């Protein structure tokens, strides 16, 4: 049994791309405790595998995901039977663990592409907001469902969505909890493309992943790290960080490789990153 066997996800390898598919189709891939521990565990393993260069995130069955499994709410109710200050402390810690499961997407060195079909609601929005790119099939629909059940979304939607799309639109979606379709999601910039069918959806996502996998994985990791840094800092700070990053990471090998390939009218091939354990400290 492989480390990549998972109680929640189906893990498929397509060359340098890995497809992580939520695999609880009978429950619309509702997010169980297993989901929350498996997602960061798998991403950590893939991050450490230098042959992985991109991840595509999909869902088995009719829907991408219906969000948090309802059983969670009974657990919360049970928790608050106890001393309320200590319960609040335990609750905060748990919310942070859930948030961290999605931040693992951001922490990964490779792009994570969400390929969405059917429902993507509640926790699903939190999750895709942490991805690097998002594609959907025409039947996909979305809702910041949390407000409809009396709560403020707390695992990333309010933090990341208004930094991806217009904050004015994000606010309206968060306050009203209204359902919106793939077409609107494309128009507001949440999606970068909409495919006609689900089959095409996964193909398009894998093709995008393949394109990215052909680039230098070191440069891709640099872009991802610096985009995240720049989102959260002013421009002067971002420039300084970028210069400091490339001072260490930009070396002539990849450049020369690319230039020579271009002159030879060939595709450049870029070496993988070093394997885990190349530095024993």
Does position 7 interact with a second copy (CB under 8 A)? The reply is no
* Contact criterion met (CB below 8 Å) for 163 and 231: yes
Closest approach of a second copy to the CB of residue 153, in Å: 8
Paired tokens of 207: 């093709």
Separation of alpha carbons 261 and 255, rounded Å: 10
- Near a second copy in 14-33, by CB under 8 A: 33
The structure tokens listed for 96 are: 């942070």
Q: Which is nearer to a second copy, 1 or 74 (CB)?
A: 74
Q: Are 158 and 180 in contact (CB under 8 A)?
A: no
Nearer to a second copy, 199 or 239 (CB): 239
Q: Which of 142, 94, 97, 92 is nearest to 116 (CA)?
A: 142
Q: What's the CA gap between 125 and 213, in Å, rounded?
A: 26
CB of 144 to a second copy, least distance (A): 9
Q: How far apart are CB 69 and a second copy at their closest, in Å?
A: 9
Q: Does 45 sit near a second copy (CB under 8 A)?
A: no
**Which is nearer to a second copy, 42 or 208 (by Cβ)?**
208
Residue 2 found at the interface with a second copy (CB under 8 A): no
Least distance CB 43 / a second copy (angstroms): 15
| C-beta closer to a second copy: residue 2 or 265 | 265
Pick the closer one to a second copy by CB: 1 or 76.
76
The separation between CA 230 and the C-alpha centre of its own chain, rounded to angstroms, equals: 18
What's the closest the beta carbon of residue 15 comes to a second copy, in angstroms? 17
Range 234-263, binding a second copy (CB under 8 A): 234-259, 262
Angstrom distance (rounded) from CA 245 to CA 33: 37
**Of residues 47-86, those binding a second copy (CB under 8 A):** 70, 72-73, 75-80, 82-86
The contact pattern for a second copy, residues 137-156, with x = CB under 8 A and - = no contact, is ---------xxxxxxxxx-x
- The number of residues making up the chain comes to 281
**Angle (nearest 5°) at CA 187 between 220 and 126:** 60
Taking phi over 0 as left and psi of -120 to 50 as alpha, with beta for the rest, 5 belongs to: beta
């Amino acid at each position: 049994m492989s480390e990549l066997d998972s109680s929640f996800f189906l893990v498929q390898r397509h060359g340098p791309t890995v497809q992580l598919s939520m695999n609880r189709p009978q429950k619309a891939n509702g997010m169980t405790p297993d989901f929350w521990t498996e997602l960061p565990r798998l991403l950590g393993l893939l991050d450490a595998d230098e042959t992985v260069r991109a991840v595509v995130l999909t869902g088995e069955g009719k829907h991408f995901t219906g969000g948090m499994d309802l059983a969670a709410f009974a657990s919360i109710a049970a928790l608050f039977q106890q001393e309320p200050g200590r319960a609040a402390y335990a609750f905060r810690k748990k919310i942070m663990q859930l948030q961290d499961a999605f931040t693992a997407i951001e922490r990964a060195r490779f792009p994570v592409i969400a390929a969405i079909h059917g429902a993507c609601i509640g926790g699903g929005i939190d999750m895709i907001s942490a991805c690097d790119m998002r594609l959907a099939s025409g039947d996909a629909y979305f809702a910041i469902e949390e407000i409809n059940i009396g709560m403020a979304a707390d695992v990333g939607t309010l933090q990341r969505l208004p930094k991806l799309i217009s904050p004015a639109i994000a606010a309206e979606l968060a306050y009203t909890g209204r359902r919106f379709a793939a077409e609107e999601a494309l128009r507001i910039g949440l999606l970068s493309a909409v495919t006609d069918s689900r089959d095409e959806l996964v193909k398009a996502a894998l093709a995008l992943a393949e394109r990215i996998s052909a680039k230098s994985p070191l440069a891709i990791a640099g872009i991802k790290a610096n985009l995240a840094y720049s989102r959260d800092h002013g421009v002067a700070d971002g420039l300084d960080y970028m210069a400091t990053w490339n001072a260490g990471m930009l070396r002539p090998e990849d450049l020369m490789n690319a230039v020579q390939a271009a002159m030879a009218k060939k595709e450049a091939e870029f070496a993988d990153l070093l394997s885990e354990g190349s530095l024993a400290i």
